[in-house]
Amino acid sequence: MHCRKCHQTAAFNMRHHKLALCQDHYLEWFVAQTQKTIERYKMFGRDDKVLVAVSGGKDSLALWDVLLQLGYQADGLYIGQGIDGGIGYSDLSRQKIDIFIEQHTGVKLHVVDVDQVYGQTIPQVADQHRASKPCSACGLIKRHIMNRVALEEGYTCLTTGHNLDDEAAVLFLNTLRWQTQYLARQSPILEATHPGLARKAKPFCRFYERETAAYAIMRGLDYLYAECPYAVGSTTITYKNLLNELEDAQPGAKLHFYLSFLSARDAGFLDVVTEDVVLNSCDNCGQPTTSPGLCAFCRLWQNRSIGKDTHVIPVSVSLVGTPVMPVGEEIY
Ligand code: AMP
Ligand code: FES
Ligand code: ZN
Ligand code: ZN
């Protein structure tokens, strides 16, 4: 197979685009496609201050690398979750980010260590609430911290490395459950519709996971291959596997599923649902919440001694034994 641009041997083939490219042309294509996505969804411009949430995995490190290449002002944010899982998962992910910083001199990284700031690691807080796995507490805590750092540090857009496989799997799950409020909020760009909300963008939402992996490998980025130890057997992975089977039989099925959903939503399919959502400000931290009073994040930590810079005031009601987190994605 040959590169469509220069006719040398192709390094990567994308069946869904009917496009094979050599390494140099693939890297060029990938960067150009990212820029197109940023423009298509009006994500941010050269004057914006962009915060990239980096986990040490291929997607977020590739995203940071591409944004820097494109000349955006892009700083990183790493959240130390305190996950060991028998492999020192969080330590390893931090090491990969440190390597990235060594290779990209002059970049700025914010680090929030959950244990240091809030007094417990994510697995510990999940245990305290008798959750069988920390994943849902983890998602809630990460979203809260990302939002908080973006707002407090004056970033005009918060970006994450979510790829098409991630987006299609969440879409599939929410569709099967007809979670219309979650569907209404699933988008490549989320405007700051509330004073406590940062603007959010997913510039890799149109890339297949294998495309971001190919980019990271060809660019020589040293990333953490291991998945989070708690992800094993997760619902998202089940949906990803199902979609992979579909993709094998019908190349492009995942992309079509996701893009058709975005078109349907733009055509007004979910407008009624969107109008129904009322966002309140959390009494404690000011971040948006769908229920009046405290947001889910503050409820999770109440009765804990919390670090000074968290802007969280002590709360007296105990929630031990009551459900603290909704299943699935938060609405905001
Ligand atoms: P995940 O929720 O693990 O699938 O990750 C989705 C995206 O969230 C990643 O591409 C990153 O942009 C971001 N992210 C995940 N974990 C972290 C972390 N520990 N620190 C900062 N950002 C993260
Ligand atoms: Fe959060 Fe696995 S529990 S990444
Ligand atoms: Zn070529
Ligand atoms: Zn709160």
The pLDDT tens digits for 148-197 are 999 999 999 999 999 999 999 999 999 999 999 889 889 999 999 888 99
- pLDDT top residue among 136 and 161: 161
The pLDDT tens digits for 27-61 are 999 999 999 999 999 999 999 999 999 999 999 99
Q: 231: helix, coil or strand?
A: helix
Q: If you average pLDDT over every residue of the chain, what do you get?
A: 90
Probe ligand 2: pick from 124, 138, 144, max atoms within 8 Å of CB? Answer: 138
Report whether residue 228 contacts ligand 2, using a CB cutoff of 6 Å: yes
Residue 2 within a domain: no
Give percent of the chain above pLDDT 90.
79
Rg over CA atoms, the chain: 20
Residue 324 pLDDT > 60, yes or no? no
| Termini Cα distance of the chain | 45
Range of the domain at 258: 12-274+294-304
Q: Please give the Cα distance from 281 to 196 (Å, whole number).
A: 7
Ligand nearest to the CA of 313: 4
Residue 101 pLDDT > 80, yes or no? yes
Our count of domains for the chain comes to: 1
Report whether residue 231 contacts ligand 2, using a CB cutoff of 6 Å: yes
> CA dist 217 to 220, 221, 328, Å?
5, 6, 31
Report whether residue 112 contacts ligand 1, using a CB cutoff of 6 Å: no
Residue 146 pLDDT > 50, yes or no? yes
Tell me, in angstroms, the distance from the centre of ligand 2 to residue 12's CA: 31
pLDDT at 308: 38
pLDDT at 52: 98
Provide mean pLDDT across the span 270-279: 76
Provide mean pLDDT across the span 202-209: 98
- pLDDT top residue among 81 and 319: 81
Residue 288 within a domain: no
Q: Which atom of ligand 1 is nearest to the CA of 59?
A: 10
Residue 287 within a domain: no
- Least confident piece of the model among 182-191, 207-216, 244-253, 323-332: 323-332
Provide mean pLDDT across the span 11-21: 96
Q: Which atom of ligand 1 is nearest to the CA of 236?
A: 4
Residue 136 pLDDT > 50, yes or no? yes
Residue 221 within a domain: yes
Can you give the CATH number for the domain in which 27 is found?
3.40.50.620
Q: Which atom of ligand 1 is nearest to the CA of 81?
A: 19
Residue 261 within a domain: yes
- pLDDT top residue among 330 and 276: 276
Provide mean pLDDT across the span 251-255: 96
Strand 12-14, strand 19-21: pairing: antiparallel
Find tokens 């510990």 and name the residue: 124
Report whether residue 284 contacts ligand 1, using a CB cutoff of 6 Å: no
Ligand nearest to the CA of 62: 1
Residue 330 pLDDT > 80, yes or no? no
Q: Which atom of ligand 1 is nearest to the CA of 77?
A: 21
Burial of residue 112 (number of CB atoms within 10 Å: 0-12, 13-18, 19+): buried
Give percent of the chain above pLDDT 70.
90
pLDDT at 193: 87
pTM score: 0.91
pLDDT at 320: 26
Ligand nearest to the CA of 53: 1
Residue 332 within a domain: no
Residue 74 pLDDT > 50, yes or no? yes
Residue 315 within a domain: no
Q: Please give the Cα distance from 35 to 67 (Å, whole number).
A: 9
Q: Please give the Cα distance from 204 to 37 (Å, whole number).
A: 8
Residue 6 within a domain: no
In this prediction, residue 276 has a pLDDT band, given cuts at 50, 70 and 90, of low
- Least confident piece of the model among 225-229, 280-284, 311-315: 311-315
- Least confident piece of the model among 113-122, 226-235, 271-280: 271-280
Residue 273 pLDDT > 90, yes or no? no
